[in-house]
Amino acid sequence: MEQTTTGVRVAFQGERGAFGEEAIHLLWRGEADPVPSTSFEDVMSAAETGSVDYGLLPIESTLVGGLDIAYDLLSLHDELSIVSEVIIPVNLCLLGLPGATIRGLRTLASQQVMLSQCTHFLTRYKHISAHPSWDTAGAAREVSELGDPSRAAAGTRRAAERFGLSVMLEHLEDRSDCQMRFLAVGRTPATLDDGAPARTAILFVVPSAVGALVGALQPLADAGCNIGHLASRPTREPWRYQFFVEVDHAAGDPKAAAALAATRRVSAEFRFLGTYPRWPVLNDLAYGFPR
């Protein structure tokens, strides 16, 4: 892809043709240059060091739930802030060599999270075995390069076009309404107009005491803030957990700010990860989202 006129570079995990590239095109409306990266850690490091403007990290799927790697990386890279989110539909296509047939297939390769969304397909076609790959587009590239009609990949139409493969079947995912949410991270926090639909993400650890977690969340409920996402991950200390929480509120709401401050006060550890516009972003320039 040619360099865009905006000069905005966004790192994503995988090769061109992956769902991360789809998310970048949707969030930046085709005006950002997707930068392929080998791992999610590479994405975060590139954004933190400034070799790209932003990084894109998948956070949850409507089929498989939250992604542990995302919570862990957000806790480790404290120079980055979440600046926006984007939700994309997940249409997993069966990609094979031109002329290949489902009956002749023996393997289906894709990223592990994506394969876990194809259980109905793999149950129906028991002669096809799942082969985890580092990336959906990478799996498609291997099918093309190896030239073996018994191999297929689960990926995007963009990957099929890029690697000269045929779309043998659409919607391999177990549910047709499957979606994936990504978070964009950058070194400069987002700025939002007061009253705009916003979401704030925090990480915190509570003392090991009866009712400690309830005490940390209660101020948010009292302020009328909806908790849209809650997950726990182990810390580096045995049997101690940190909680990842995303709270929905209006930007600039003093009640929300006071509630977050109250949660901070009762936490043993607390990290503010960012306040950003909720998807869909109807007017990203008004929200101050960097272009």
pTM (predicted TM-score): 0.89
* For the chain, percent of residues with pLDDT exceeding 70: 94
- CATH class of this structure's domain 197-277: alpha beta
If pLDDT is split at 50, 70 and 90, which confidence band does 93 have? very high
Q: Return the axis-axis angle of helices 254-266 and 212-222, rounded to nearest 10°.
A: 170
Q: What pLDDT is attached to residue 176?
A: 84
Residue 153 CA to residue 278 CA, distance in Å, equals 32
Contact (CB, 8 A) for 137 and 160: no
Residue 275 CA to residue 291 CA, distance in Å, equals 17
Task: Please tell me which residue, 176 or 100, carries the higher pLDDT value.
Answer: 100
Q: What pLDDT is attached to residue 280?
A: 87
Task: Characterise 66 by phi-psi region: left (phi > 0), alpha (psi -120 to 50), beta (else).
Answer: beta
Across 166-183, average pLDDT:
94
For residue 218, give both structure tokens.
């209660």
Outline where DSSP puts E strands in the chain: 9-13, 33-37, 54-61, 65-66, 81-89, 93-96, 107-111, 129-133, 151-155, 166-169, 179-186, 197-205, 226-234, 241-250, 269-277
Q: What is the DSSP letter of 138?
A: H
Across 204-231, average pLDDT:
96
Q: What pLDDT is attached to residue 290?
A: 42
Of the candidates 261, 275, 276, the one whose C-alpha atom is nearest the C-alpha of residue 204 is: 261
If pLDDT is split at 50, 70 and 90, which confidence band does 88 have? very high
- Helix (H) or strand (E) holding 159, with range, is helix 157-163
pLDDT tens digits for range 19-42: 999 999 999 999 999 999 999 999
pLDDT tens digits for range 228-282: 999 999 998 999 999 999 999 999 999 999 999 999 999 999 999 999 999 985 4
Location of each CATH 3.40.190.10 domain in the chain: 9-90+179-186, 93-169
> CB burial class (10 A; 0-12, 13-18, 19+) of residue 11?
buried
| Topology classification of domain 9-90+179-186 | D-Maltodextrin-Binding Protein; domain 2 (3.40.190)
If pLDDT is split at 50, 70 and 90, which confidence band does 3 have? very low
Residue 144 CA to residue 167 CA, distance in Å, equals 13
Location of each CATH 3.30.70.260 domain in the chain: 197-277
Across 10-26, average pLDDT:
95
Residue 1 is which amino acid? M
Which residues lie below 8 Å from residue 121, measured CB to CB, with a gap of 6+?
94, 108, 128, 172, 174
If pLDDT is split at 50, 70 and 90, which confidence band does 285 have? very low
If pLDDT is split at 50, 70 and 90, which confidence band does 7 have? confident
Q: What pLDDT is attached to residue 281?
A: 56
Question: Among 1.20.1560.10, 3.40.50.970, 2.60.40.10, 3.40.190.10, what is the CATH number of 93-169?
Answer: 3.40.190.10
Q: What pLDDT is attached to residue 64?
A: 87
Task: Give yes or no for residue 2 having a pLDDT over 90.
Answer: no
Residue 235 CA to residue 254 CA, distance in Å, equals 31
Contact (CB, 8 A) for 66 and 113: no
Across 105-114, average pLDDT:
95
Task: Give yes or no for residue 147 having a pLDDT over 70.
Answer: yes
- The answer to which of 54-63, 205-214, 282-291 has the lowest mean pLDDT is 282-291
Across 167-173, average pLDDT:
96
Contact (CB, 8 A) for 98 and 143: no
